[in-house]
Amino acid sequence: MEEIAFINGRFCSLSEATISIEDRGFQFGDGVYEVIVARRGRPFRLAQHLDRLKRSTDAIDLPVDYAALNLPAVIEEGVRRCGFDEVMIYIQITRGVAPRDHVYSGDITPTVAATFKARPVHTHARARGVALETTSDIRWAKCSVKSTALLANVLIKNAARRRGFFDAVILGEGDVVRETAVANIFIVNDGAIRTPPATDHILHGVTRGYLLECAARLGIPCREVHFSRSEMLAADEVFITSTTMNVMPVTSIDGSAIGDGKPGTIAERLLGCFCEDTADSE
């Protein structure tokens, strides 16, 4: 088993992977990314992830010949080569290498990079639940684009960690809840789920969409609707979701216990549905 990379058509070891200093991804954060998990050789929701990747490149006016690139074959080969049972696949596409200039031309060849590593495990954190804090939104206005320019998210997440929290809930105007620095967020009251609607203010999470399907299958009422910080703090349950975490229960926010301060039953039911469908080992 080995962590490997794919750079512009060539597989190599992670230590050998290099990209030009003139790449616009490095110079401007001019690129997008996608994270996919493969379990026992099978990428989960691959079509949905690749559809979102295309939406992101389209949104930043980055033309990519996806047919020639054939990412499904690249992913299949990378998963096979690395040899991990559970693989985290990170794909990044930048506008490419060009002299540093804010204005870009249309004839630059995109840089396509991917890494294949062992998927991180969150079993212990999930069993006890995590603590979050709230913070104001300092990000750009197109959070639905999975941009590589994640400095604001990095600052938010690291500030939360320094204060002893797992992550931070990002609040918009009027203390409206959006998402966390790395995940979508759900609240539960009286057995019914709410999650912020899929606007430009949040990432349209693939796991988020999948869990909405799971909720419908389980007969759990679910609405995509705005809610406030105070409504979140008064919820019976809160949980966050992402590709790498699946479902992560939240047991406190800003020092206040959520519900009884323990992981909730709705999150557990949704995780069970997820594990059943994906043969997840967590």
Task: Note whether 46 and 75 are within 8 A (CB).
Answer: yes
What distance in Å separates the CA atoms of residue 62 and residue 28, rounded to the nearest whole number? 14
Q: Is 146 a catalytic residue?
A: yes
Give which of 75, 68, 64 is closest to 36, Cα–Cα: 75
What distance in Å separates the CA atoms of residue 209 and residue 212, rounded to the nearest whole number? 5
Task: Note whether 113 and 6 are within 8 A (CB).
Answer: yes
Task: Note whether 40 and 91 are within 8 A (CB).
Answer: no
Residue with tokens 């797992």: 166
- C-beta atoms surrounding 243 within 10 Å: 22
Sequence-separated (6 or more) residues with CB below 8 Å from residue 18: 7
Catalytic residue among 54, 117, 146, 262: 146
Q: What angle do CA 95, 113, 26 make, to 5 degrees?
A: 50
Backbone φ/ψ region at 271: left (φ over 0), alpha (ψ -120 to 50), beta: alpha
Which active-site residues does the annotation give? 146
